[in-house]
């Protein structure tokens, strides 16, 4: 059975580059309801201690740069929270790096009933994913130690499948018991080093096929909340 989710993507008139993204995120959090953990993914329970300061879960609100402009992407409760923030007129008091900014909405794309599905193995969809960050500090060394490119592709393929499973868990999507998630990397367009919050990481632009039907602009992998690893389906 398909699993329905709600997605919302908005783009503002604010021009940004990658170095501005953390400041944009902080500015949105500043005008949002601080009690809504979806915007910052911190644990608001003061007695949880340092070890439980963050929620280690799939983020339902993503901060992005799209067409060189500030953008937000939300899923389910995240989409509802973004819409509520827009309706509250909170963005009238928006400041970034202490500077007042007149923030206007220039694009809104919403799908209140996208049907996720996991098809039979022969029913495949093809996707392109940009700036995908599959590697942690630990498995980076495993990846670099592999003796050939074929094994490295297989390694990334497994991580890609794991990140799709993490997304499924994050939106309470249970795969049918008689179906198995299939992921196959078809091409790697680019591998590059990119700075992520002051840390250099390996980012992949690649094309993959899967029997999972996924929405456009979905983000997966490490730092998906900061605009990395978002997907478009190829016709």
pLDDT at residue 92 in the model? 87
pLDDT band for 86, please (50, 70, 90 cuts). very high
pLDDT at residue 198 above 80? no
Alpha helices for 77-206 (secondary structure H): 77-87, 137-145, 149-170
- Residue ranges, CATH 3.30.70, the chain: 119-234
Burial annotation 175-190 (CB, 10 A radius, 16+ → b, else e) = beeeeeebbebeeeee
pLDDT at residue 91 in the model? 86
pLDDT at residue 117 above 90? yes
Q: Are 108 and 79 in contact (CB under 8 A)?
A: no
**CATH classification (class only), 119-234:** alpha beta
Q: 234 or 51: whose pLDDT is higher?
A: 234
Read off the pLDDT of each residue in 188-199 and give the average, rounded to a whole number: 88
Strand-pairing partners, residue 71, are 11, 64
Calculate the average pLDDT of the chain.
90
- Angle subtended by helix axes 149-170 and 137-145, to nearest 10: 150
Beta strands (DSSP E) in the chain are: 3-15, 61-66, 69-75, 95-96, 99-100, 105-118, 125-132, 183-196, 199-210, 212-213, 230-234
Q: Computed over its alpha carbons, how large is the radius of gyration of the chain?
A: 18
């Amino acid at each position: 059975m398909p699993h329905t989710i709600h997605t919302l993507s908005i783009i503002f008139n604010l021009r940004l580059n990658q170095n501005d993204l953390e400041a944009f995120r902080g500015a949105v959090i500043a005008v949002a309801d601080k009690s809504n953990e979806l915007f910052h993914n911190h644990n608001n329970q003061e007695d949880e201690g340092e070890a439980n300061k963050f929620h280690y879960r799939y983020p339902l609100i993503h901060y992005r740069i799209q067409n060189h402009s500030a953008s937000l992407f939300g899923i389910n409760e995240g989409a509802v929270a973004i819409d509520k923030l827009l309706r509250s007129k909170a963005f009238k008091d928006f400041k970034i790096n202490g500077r007042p900014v007149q923030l206007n909405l220039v694009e809104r794309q919403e799908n209140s009933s996208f049907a996720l599905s996991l098809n039979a193995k022969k029913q495949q969809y093809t996707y392109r994913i940009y700036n995908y960050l599959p590697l942690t500090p630990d498995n980076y060394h495993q990846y670099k130690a592999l003796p050939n490119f074929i094994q490295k592709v297989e390694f990334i393929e497994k991580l890609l499948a794991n990140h799709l499973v993490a997304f499924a868990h994050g939106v309470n999507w249970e795969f049918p018991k008689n179906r198995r998630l299939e992921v196959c990397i078809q091409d790697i367009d680019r591998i590059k080093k990119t700075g992520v919050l002051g840390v250099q990481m390996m980012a992949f632009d690649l094309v993959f096929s899967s029997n999972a039907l996924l929405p456009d602009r979905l983000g997966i992998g490490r730092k998906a909340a900061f605009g990395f690893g978002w997907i478009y389906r190829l016709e």
